[in-house]
């Protein structure tokens, strides 16, 4: 079970990485900022 979960997480991580292979640092920074902002919102806390 744990092994399956880990494999799924690794697969999802690799898929996410592939979406940003051609992205420059500014784009990655923008995405990370958006993620952090969505987590910071009080209604999401």
Phi, psi of 37 (to 5 degrees): -65, -40
- Tokens at 6, concatenated: 């880990």
- At 6-42, the pLDDT tens digits run 999 999 999 999 999 999 999 999 999 999 999 987 7
What pTM was estimated for this model as a whole? 0.60
Count how many domains the chain has: 1
Structural domain boundaries enclosing 20: 2-44
């Amino acid at each position: 079970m744990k092994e399956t979960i880990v494999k799924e997480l690794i697969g999802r991580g690799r898929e996410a990485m592939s979406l940003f292979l051609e992205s420059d640092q500014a784009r990655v920074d923008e995405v990370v900022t958006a993620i952090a902002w969505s987590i910071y919102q009080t209604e999401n806390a």
